[in-house]
Amino acid sequence: DVYKRQLTNKSLDELFEIRYKGSTFYIDHMHKAAEKELKKRYENIFFNCTQNEDIDFLIFPEMLITEEIMSSLKAHKRSESRPIVIINGSIWKDKINKTLITDDEGMKILEYAKKEPFKYRYAGKEYTEWLDQSRNKEYTILEIEGIGRIGVAICKDLVNEDVKLFHKAMETDILIVPAYTKSMDLQTSAENMSEEYHCIVVVANACSALRGKVDGEKIGFVSLPAKNGAQR
């Protein structure tokens, strides 16, 4: 089962205090009112999912989590010892856009920093996400017996050639992508990875990356490798 929750439909400016410098921008902090509202939604989703023994992965979208929200997510006793793997969206801090992968007790499994910045328009000018390139060079793969190699990328990393070639070389089985974008390029790149590298790509998006929304719930998508020429 796939449980879909739209965490917010607010703009970046409504959620964050954004600082602009030259042609770049960075996020200083999340507004307290937005953090309080999101915190309640995270806690409800987390509680419901940790009570469901059939859930293996809980994936949140890019940027919409803070350290305070993460610390508020407490594990609830489950009848099965197998933990849920939680991809905690990403936290924007000190010019690093980083996702933390934990179990349902908050124990860190690995972390990953975003490689490819995105562009943001404000007051008629385009700004580029300011990422500290000296501190986001590492890649990490999680290998789970019976499932395979699990990789994580963040949003525009899915169109970064170095990122894609890494997962091709590692023969990543599932690539999980927290995102916050209205662009269609993620869907195209995900389909290409599934077709060329036989990789399942899971995009958890705060916005809609799909054309032709009908029910307003399509906030992400899964792209599967083609089988015998069938549509992915």
pLDDT in tens, 153-179: 999 999 999 999 999 999 999 999 999
Contacts (Cβ under 8 Å, ≥6 apart) of 34: 8, 10, 14, 15, 16
Q: Which of 228, 208, 204 is nearest to 218 (CA)?
A: 208
CB-CB contact of 23 with 126 (8 Å) = yes
Mean per-residue pLDDT, 22-34: 93
Tokens 């599932």 sit on residue: 174
Contacts (Cβ under 8 Å, ≥6 apart) of 125: 23
d(CA 77, CA 35): 26
The percentage of the chain sitting over the pLDDT mark of 70, rounded to a whole number, equals 85
Each residue's pLDDT tens digit, 45-66: 888 877 777 788 889 899 999 9
Each residue's pLDDT tens digit, 101-128: 988 778 889 999 999 999 888 889 999 9
pLDDT of amino acid 2: 45
Which is it for the CA torsion 75, 76, 77, 79, positive or negative?
A: negative
What's the chain's average pLDDT? 84
d(CA 225, CA 229): 10
Task: Enumerate helices (H) and strands (E) in the chain, giving the number of each.
Answer: 5, 14
Coil, helix or strand at residue 1 = coil
Residue type, 93: K
Q: Give per-residue burial for 30-65: e unless 16+ CB within 10 Å, then b.
A: beeebbeebbeebeebbeebbeeeebebbbbbbbbb
